Chain A
Amino acid sequence: MVRFDRVGRRFGSVAAVDDLSLDIAANEFVALLGPSGCGKTTLLRMLAGFETPDTGRVLLDGKDISAVPPYRRPVNMMFQSYALFPHLTVAGNIAFGLKREGLPRGEIETRVAEMLALARLTGLGERKPDQLSGGQRQRVALARSLAKRPRVLLLDEPMAALDRKLREETQFELMELRRRLGLTFVIVTHDQEEAMVMADRIALMDKGRIVQTGAPAEIYERPRTRWAAQFIGDINIIEGRVAADGSGVATDALGLLRAPVPAGLKPGDAVVLAVRPEKIALATSGDNNVAGTVSEVGYRGDKSLYKVAVAGGLSMKAAVANAVRAGGPAMGLNDRVTLSWPADAGLVLPP
């Protein structure tokens, strides 16, 4: 439904978006995820109409909308700062877009009431934005952007200003809303947890390009580059070469570590082995066993994070779920442990 066709946008000498293509299907929830300055907001603003691509085209339903001004696009955006009009009431804010459409008065009133109910703001319609809490303002911004029933709803860091608890609640609310309304959502976020919880598909961006797109689980479990693996979640990276027999990665410090080697790599190629901390157990039963000493313990309640010093001056992290009630982490500082993980837990990536 939305297609970015080789779009590019430069600010001075910096390419904010660089020859990027992306398709977004109808009713899809896509998250643009990346570090700050990766171009994700510029991409979103191109879809809203606030930025014009220097090269390439933005298509909506097959029509080129690159030159269409924002006020003629069937796309609405929820701003990071919410951008509520301070001189209008909550109802006035929600009605703003409907009035511009020239809808009859009765229709506007019905829709505003509908939106207030949807955003759980009933009874607050006559308040001014500065009389609302942060969470309420966020819901007004959402209601306002939904009031015109846009084809695509754009969310620019919608939860950046909310505290953790409220953020989680709002995430689930948004997901439910989306199921009910059947809209296409594009969200920009630097919060990977937010992207993984809500999105059907994540477009991971860096330096104006898309590094990888895929379902959250795919991005997490099958990152295609070292950068992607390190950006999402926590991961151990061990440098080495493809083993002579192709059964894993040969490392200087830790010997042969078994892992599935993708086709196309020859023995001796420089690679890195990437293993997520939660895939590593403190036991000696896996395909790969590495001995070490606990150098740091982080107790997080639901799990404990161990930093383990292993041979060759390397350090590896293991996350262990605290499944049984106990007085604290199972291992202490300077305990000798063996880290083990199955061969298929490891990812062999280009260095």
Chain B
Amino acid sequence: MTRRFSSFNMVSLTLGLAFLYLPIAILIIYSFNASRLVTVWGGWSLRWYAALLEDSAMLAAAWTTLRIALMSATAATVLGTMAALALTGRRRFHGRTLFAGMVYAPLVMPEVITGLSLLLLFVALDVDRGFWTVTIAHTTLTMCFVTVVVQSRLATFDRSLTEAAQDLGATPGRTFFLVTLPLIFPAIAAGWMLAFTLSIDDLVIASFTTGPGATTLPIRIYSEVRLGVKPEINAICTLMIATVAVGLTVVSLIGKRNAARRQRAAGAPL
């Protein structure tokens, strides 16, 4: 039995989506505005995208953000996957429950606190703040997200597969690279994408841990907006939205394809 989509549901869905996407839609539309005044519509134009290419400070910030995101996402994926493997391993160790809980803590920790504590750490260690400190900070922030994603895949991982590999003569190391890694790779890729997008749009932690010469895009945008919204900001934001949207779509498509494949494998006729 399929229930009709009631008018109440229709209205709440419309309102909800409007609430979420109207501001974004306005931002995207105004990025194509020909007028210099942000609030006055002056016809369609790509001039702010062209102007963006001239804005070397903005481009430098974008390049810094991209490099930080690539590096921190990669580091977070390696560390996060290792943590997930340790936490779901067959051999239990003392304090495993505690560690499993601690992995989740950064997910719910207010970013201000994470940022502040990292700042205090870097000051205490007397590290020059800049590119590397932001990268490290983003790695700490995003690692737990990777762990959660990979862990949930490992929870449904059939242990007899690794046993079968060992039974057939593969050492534990080879078993990992020949069997475990290829099978959990989609989850690792999804974790990487998540870490990448989180790093790109982080403002709070980056502002705490950055230093001279390492202005990220969100910091740059925020400081410019304080002096008034320029149409170039709309353009760069539209580009960021596009990047994140593409990333998340890829992740969800990978996830869907793998879920379908697993279901097919489990539900195939005997």
Residue from the list A71, A81, A145 in contact with B160, Cβ < 8 A: A81
Residue from the list B158, B166, B261 in contact with A81, Cβ < 8 A: B158
Residue from the list B168, B170, B265, B270 in contact with A86, Cβ < 8 A: B265
- Contact yes or no, A85 B179, CB < 8 A: yes
Within 8 A of A (CB), among B129-171: 158, 160-161, 163-171
- Chain A: interface residue count, which band? 35 or more
- Contact yes or no, B265 A130, CB < 8 A: yes
A/B pair count, beta carbons within 8 Å: 78
Distance between Cα atoms of A133 and B168 in the complex (Å): 23
- Contact yes or no, B166 A69, CB < 8 A: yes
Distance between Cα atoms of A148 and B182 in the complex (Å): 23
B268 CB–A CB distance under 8 Å = yes
Distance between Cα atoms of A75 and B165 in the complex (Å): 13
Residue of B158, B167, B169, B178 with highest tally of chain A CB at under 10 A: B167
- Contact yes or no, A162 B168, CB < 8 A: no
Residue from the list A87, A97, A132 in contact with B169, Cβ < 8 A: A97
B256 CB–A CB distance under 8 Å = no
A134 CB–B CB distance under 8 Å = yes
Nearest to A132 among chain B residues (CB) is: B268
Shortest Cβ gap from A143 to chain B (Å): 12
Residue from the list B166, B168, B269 in contact with A144, Cβ < 8 A: B168
Residue from the list A80, A97, A130 in contact with B264, Cβ < 8 A: A130
Known: A100-B174, A162-B270. A148 touches B168 (CB 8 A): yes
What are 30 A-B contacts with C-beta separation under 8 Å?
A: A50-B163, A50-B166, A70-B166, A71-B167, A75-B167, A77-B163, A79-B160, A79-B164, A83-B160, A83-B164, A84-B164, A85-B161, A85-B164, A86-B183, A86-B265, A96-B165, A96-B170, A97-B168, A97-B169, A100-B168, A100-B169, A100-B174, A133-B268, A133-B269, A134-B268, A134-B270, A144-B168, A145-B167, A162-B270, A163-B270
Top 8 A-B pairs, shortest CB-CB distance: A134-B270, A97-B168, A100-B169, A83-B164, A83-B160, A130-B265, A70-B166, A71-B166
Residues of A near any B CB (own CB < 8 A)? 48-50, 69-72, 75-77, 79-81, 83-87, 96-97, 100-101, 129-135, 144-145, 148, 161-163
